[in-house]
Amino acid sequence: MKKKPIRTCCYCRKKMIKDELNRFVWADGEIQIDVGQKMQGRGAYCCVRKECTEGFLRQKKWGRIFRL
């Protein structure tokens, strides 16, 4: 079996397999969800849980997360 890549949710800090996380990228001056997980640039992962996604999108530390 192929080993699944592990990523950390940048909101709750839990480690999980990439499939259980959404990837976000900073593009055109705003946060965008990377549906295909193939977009250019530094990505941030957040788990698909509603609390995490909402909390993640509500915070404003984009500079730190994406090293802007």
Q: Which residues here bind Zn ion, judged by CB under 5 A? A: 9, 11-12, 47, 52
Q: Cα(57)–Cα(51) distance, rounded to whole angstroms? A: 10
Least distance (Å) between residue 4 CB and Zn ion:
17
Q: Which is nearer to Zn ion, 9 or 25 (CB)?
A: 9
Least distance (Å) between residue 1 CB and Zn ion:
25
Least distance (Å) between residue 9 CB and Zn ion:
3
Q: What dihedral do alpha carbons 36, 31, 66, 40 form, nearest 10°?
A: 40
Rounded to 5 degrees, what are φ and ψ at 5?
-70, 140
